[in-house]
Structure 1
Amino acid sequence: MSRVKLKDPTNHGEVTHLINEYAYSDELDLHITVHADERMEERGVNEDFLMKTLREGTVIEHEIETYPNGNSSIKYRVSHRDNLGEETVAITVIPGEYQLTIVTIW
């Protein structure tokens, strides 16, 4: 996966902007893991709503994972809320350069 160049990868506003921008791009390379695909089916989330969440959602938390070889990745939780402010779906995403890997959905 290509590295994303962010000034501050822990700045949720900056990452939200990046994910929203990628989701609107025709260049987006979207990867949905088998686990995420299973969760989408269980929860009745179709790809249109997944994309709506990526385009309009907000990053609300992140987790940094460091591997034994010293490399690391950051997973972001993107939340979508309805007109009443209720969370309708949340997605865990790992961004690459014009690439989004969907890890899970709840």
Structure 2
Amino acid sequence: MVPSEDRNWAVGAHLGSFAAAYVALGLIAPLIVLLARGGQSPFVRRQAIESLNFQINALVIIAIGWLLAIVLIGFAILAVYGVFYVIVVVMATIKASRGEDFRYPLTIRLIR
């Protein structure tokens, strides 16, 4: 059983990255959660790292999409990835609020 405070921090790692993605880099929220609470809770650490890895991947894919926008295929990549991004972040947030681990699909895990 995961304490509710830990679940709230994990939700913050996922949902905060979603909110920050449109203002700044989505990396900020999971990084703050990892630094603030990651050392105290293994669950929060796992979820913050998972969110951070996904945000790094998202940053790379969006950059590639913008580069490929020159040849028009990038617009399709950005549209499809945008829908994928919203769906998986919402799924991760729901799982974290239940105290369950979530692994983002199609994510290269650079940080462990």
TM-score normalised over the length of structure 1: 0.30
Q: Highest CA radius of gyration, 1 or 2?
A: 2
> In proportion to residue count, which structure has more helix?
2
Bigger strand fraction:
1
Q: Give the TM-score of the pair, scaled to structure 2.
A: 0.29
